[in-house]
Amino acid sequence: MKSNFASNPEVVELLRESAGLNGSDGDERFKAIIHQLLENICTLIDDYNITPEEFWHAINYLHDLGGSKEAALLAAGLGLEHYLDLRQDAIEAAENRETGTPRTIEGPLYVAGAPLADSHDRMDDGSDDGKVMWLHGEVKGTDGKPLANAIVDIWHANTLGNYSFFDASQSDYNLRRRIRTGSDGRYSVRSIVPSGYGCPPQGPTQQLLDRLGRHGNRPAHIHFFVSAPDHRHLTSQINLNGDEYLWDDFAFATRDGLVADPVAVTDPSLIASRGLNGPHTEIRFDFTLTRAQNAQEQQRIIRARAKE
């Protein structure tokens, strides 16, 4: 039964006091946010008649979530990270800003400081016998002209769906590289075709998803930060066509315009021109960056990241 205990005058005063609203110290906006959060929690307790046992279960869940460093994973799985993208898109549309390659979520597995190379590099350390992938494309402005000195920061999983650094069995920066474009705006990498990702089965994120009747899988995908002088930083990913989870991504990252087709290459002269010894998978993906309106837009969003 729904009660309305949270609107009882004693509770109203309690929440004002606990959010610091009765004092003049502290940050006004932060106090207002915490106050509304507390009101929402108290109303939720009323609306669902949440028991003390359930409340402490939830508190313990937060301990587990933080202890296993899965808060960012849960934010992705609950669609909140995608919500930020949808909201940013709407803000830009309302401002009639030019559009380029769509943004999509960063996810929790970026590591700063990957090796930087001009135009081309190999991303895999040779220890994973996955299919060879030749990933390449062009970085352009909205006028279609190539952008020189763009940095394409690429990261992806191995054939087990694991990312180096978070998976201690991989070498440092395996499957993580930054490529700087030349005057042709082009980047290319040799790597291995990644597999999809699944949430740690025993972790708190998957535990919560289980209770929602949801899976915790992502399609095979490749992450990118793309930046260039005077252009807006882009956080995006491509998701690989043909994957069973392509449009059933637990993190809601797949978007129109971000699906890439893996193509089988068998032409001997093309194989030889790439210095490869046999058939491989080619993925081509071009990026269009929009102009930055201020210096801040050229930077990625500030948030805690590994090695930063």
Q: Is 255 in the site for ligand MBD (CB under 6 A)?
A: no
Nearer to Fe ion, 107 or 262 (CB): 107
- The CB-of-174 to ligand MBD minimum distance in angstroms stands at 15
Site for ligand MBD in 178-237 (CB under 6 A): 197, 218
**The Cα angle at residue 12 between residues 8 and 15, in degrees rounded to 5:** 135
Do residues 214 and 265 make contact, with C-beta atoms less than 8 angstroms apart?
Answer: no
Residue among 42 and 105 whose Cβ is closer to ligand MBD:
105
Judged by beta carbon distances under 5 to 8 A according to partner kind, the member of ligand MBD, Fe ion, none in contact with residue 258 is none
Distance (Å) of CA 212 to CA 53, 78, 205, 244:
20, 10, 11, 21
Among 19, 73, 175, 258, binds ligand MBD (CB under 6 A): 73
Q: How far is residue 169 CA from its own chain's centroid? A: 22
Site string for ligand MBD, 100-129 (x = CB under 6 A): -----x-xxx--------------------
Q: Which residue in 77, 100, 107, 141 binds Fe ion (CB under 5 A)?
A: 107
Closer residue to ligand MBD, CB minimum distance, 251 or 258: 251
In the complex, what is the shortest distance from the CB of residue 251 to ligand MBD, in angstroms, rounded to a whole number? Answer: 4
- Residue 197 or 225 having the CB closest to ligand MBD: 197
Cα–Cα distance, 132 to 128 (Å, whole number): 10
If binding is defined by CB under 5 A, does position 216 make contact with Fe ion?
A: no
Residue number closest to ligand MBD, CB atom: 107
Count, residues near ligand MBD per rule CB under 6 A? 10
Q: Which does 179 bind (CB under 5 to 8 A by kind): ligand MBD, Fe ion, none?
A: none
**Is residue 283 part of the contact set for ligand MBD (CB under 6 A)?**
no
Which residue, 177 or 186, has its beta carbon nearer to ligand MBD? Answer: 177
| Residue 105 interacting partner from ligand MBD, Fe ion, none (CB closer than 5 to 8 Å by kind) | ligand MBD
> Does 219 participate in binding Fe ion (rule CB under 5 A)?
no
CB-based closest residue to Fe ion: 107
| 11-70 binders of ligand MBD (CB under 6 A) | none
**Count of residues in the chain:** 308
Interface with Fe ion (CB under 5 A): 107
Interface with ligand MBD (CB under 6 A): 73, 76, 105, 107-109, 197, 218, 251, 253
